[in-house]
Structure 1
């Protein structure tokens, strides 16, 4: 089974908040890493449990979370429940209406309306990002395709991808501050930002940015990739969420889990493993799809369900992975 890049351009990382201090964050900035999520101190180590599931029901309960802007580069997510549900999607910004794009769109419209938020891990617009807040791709590729503001009314917490860097990254930041169609649902305070979360009294912090200088494409350094991996391991990071490769994967390196979901609609393709950065492949599928994350902060349990589609757009099997931290 082919493995792909050990680290990707974009990610969100689940970690123990007590282990992620300001010095670590400074190092993370220095290597253009992704995001860090902090929770209460982790429980004893447990292996990833994989189970194949039947087609699941769409969520029926509305979100209990409220997302607001705090200080510069800071979001506040306040949830009445200690359970948070979000949908992760990556590499979805394909302009063409392909079978994969349509399948992911239809699935997202079934599963995402009652999620607390959508996590977009980059490559939001192909091939060269957007030129401005008035670029027609905003309307065609995002607002109209996903019914933003009509069929889908949840926040899209978004991170930049390498293709987004080929256009105006500032335009993606500015869109969230403007009055264009759907702008109130587009959440990107800056290229790097934090999300301070309270879930029924339990604290969690997210530090989100793109890893534009990391990965196996472009002008990248294996040394920097290894440096980032060392930081993640020493900071007791538990899980890393990302995209970039156009497929669906679950990888593991030591006690660090990698949930990768880059099958958002761009043409499916495999990647290349940089020297010295291999991780164990627990699951790999050359399919379109997205991931549903159910996080119980109080119980320190994460359940990740991969919703997947075949190359012709037909529905494929689902896979659920659970982790006790």
Structure 2
């Protein structure tokens, strides 16, 4: 008989999902001419002591230095926050061992907008929502939610739509990593979220519209494209003129953009290691891969990215554990 893996209680999910509207209309005013933030994915340490990896620790260090330099206002954490099996409850010491005591720089004490990845759902994903009430910086008010920022000097608005791709697509196989997600555990919960995603994108009047999830739409690496997202999310991103989709899951850095589309797909899943796989290179649209960083000379390698948004442009920079900029892309405003 196959071993069972803990799954979140559907009742708990329904409870937390029922609260998301309370967070759907918040607007954060930002002084100055730009919104500056960090993105990190698949950073969640390891299940055994010391509960963090060398690569994660190095990334945390250079992130802190860069966050101070650019005056970062927050961090996006795009899932797989706690390897291998998430957390047990809201008091799990992994919150300290893998998060609070690793990302210690003063510049990283600002809000972390978090979403769950597949490894987080191997444990108690609801505990990560509940931890919002215990931590001064961890923020996951529901499994999916939205936040709007306003640059007061120019009255430019930037809207982030944080989605839960595990609810939409299901869990990936813990051992057979080449297999796609298994399909949603609850079709009702998936349908509810799809309806919310389209409604939120349709109603957005933001100058910049950004979506963030764990699974990639397009990827050339080990996991490759997520069929459910290619089929159902990609058309929405195109239809509602989304500028960028940030994700993780594959442990590398990628920038993918299809011809004739405004949507830029950024994979930022190298928060604690780099994977060299390119086994799905033929599964993305021809000519769409603009950049990839996935060659690792050490198990302690890793990478993250910064984003700066102004009234005119959005600049995405990727950095390695040496603090070196390895890629930059400037996106024009399309909304």
The normalised TM-score by structure 1 is: 0.69
Contact 1:245–1:271, Cα closer than 8 Å, also in 2: no
Cα distance in structure 1, aligned partners of 2:268 and 2:229: 23
Alignment of 1:132 onto 2:89: yes
Q: How does 1:124-273 map to 2 (within 5 A)?
A: 124-147=81-104, 152-178=108-134, 183-200=135-152, 201-212=155-166, 213-214=168-169, 217-220=180-183, 222=227, 224-254=229-259, 255=261, 256-266=263-273, 268-270=275-277, 272-273=279-280
Q: Which moved more, 1:168-177 or 1:223-232?
A: 223-232
Q: Is the 1:94–1:266 contact (alpha carbons within 8 Å) kept by the matching residues of 2?
A: no
Larger helix fraction of residues: 2
Change (3 A) 1:157 1:101: same
Question: Cα offset for 1:145?
Answer: 0.9
SS in structure 2 at match of 1:107: helix
Conserved in 2, the CA contact under 8 Å of 1:73 and 1:192?
no
Corresponding residue for 1:63? none
SS at match of 1:176: helix
Alignment match, 1:44: none
Aligned mates of 1:71, 1:102 — CA distance in 2: 35
Map of 1:37-116 to 2, 5 A cutoff? 71-95=22-46, 96-113=51-68, 114-116=71-73
Change (3 A) 1:271 1:142: farther
SS at match of 1:110: helix
Any conservation in 1 of the 2:83–2:120 contact (CA below 8 Å)? Answer: yes
For the aligned residue pairs, the C-alpha RMSD in angstroms reads: 2.6
Gaps of 5+ in 2: 1-19, 173-178, 184-225, 297-301
| Cα distance change of structure 1 residues 74 and 120 upon mapping to structure 2, 3 Å threshold | farther
> Does the CA contact (< 8 Å) of 2:32 and 2:151 recur in 1?
yes
2-structure distance, mates of 1:264, 1:197: 25
If each structure's strand is expressed as a fraction of its own residues, which one has the higher value? Answer: 1
Q: CA separation in 2, counterparts of 1:103 and 1:257?
A: 27
Distance 1:267 1:305, change over 3 A: closer
Alpha-carbon shift at residue 159 of structure 1 (Å): 1.0
1:282 aligns with 2:328: no
Does the Cα contact within 8 Å between 2:317 and 2:325 map onto a contact in 1? no
More relative contact order, 1 or 2 (CA 8 Å, 6+ apart): 1
- What SS does the corresponding residue of 2:63 show, helix, strand or coil? helix
CA distance in 2 between counterparts of 1:276 and 1:289 reads 24
Q: How does 1:2-41 map to 2 (within 5 A)?
A: none
User: For 2:118 and 2:127, how far apart are their aligned partners in 1?
Assistant: 15
**C-alpha contact 2:72 2:107 (8 A) present in aligned 1:** no
Deviates more, 1:189-198 or 1:263-272: 263-272
Gaps spanning 5+ residues in structure 1: where? 1-68
- Note closer, same or farther for the CA distance 1:289–1:108 as it changes in structure 2 (3 Å cut): same
Partner secondary structure for residue 237 of structure 1: coil
Q: TM-score, normalised by structure 2?
A: 0.67
* Aligned equivalents of 2:161, 2:30: Cα separation in 1: 18
| Distance 1:188-1:127 versus aligned 2 partners, 3 A rule | same
Give the secondary structure class of the aligned counterpart of 1:111: helix
The match for 2:328 among 314, 320, 323 is: 320
Paired residue total: 246
Given that residues 123 and 161 in structure 1 are in contact (C-alpha distance below 8 angstroms), is that contact kept between their aligned partners in structure 2? yes
- Note closer, same or farther for the CA distance 1:223–1:120 as it changes in structure 2 (3 Å cut): closer
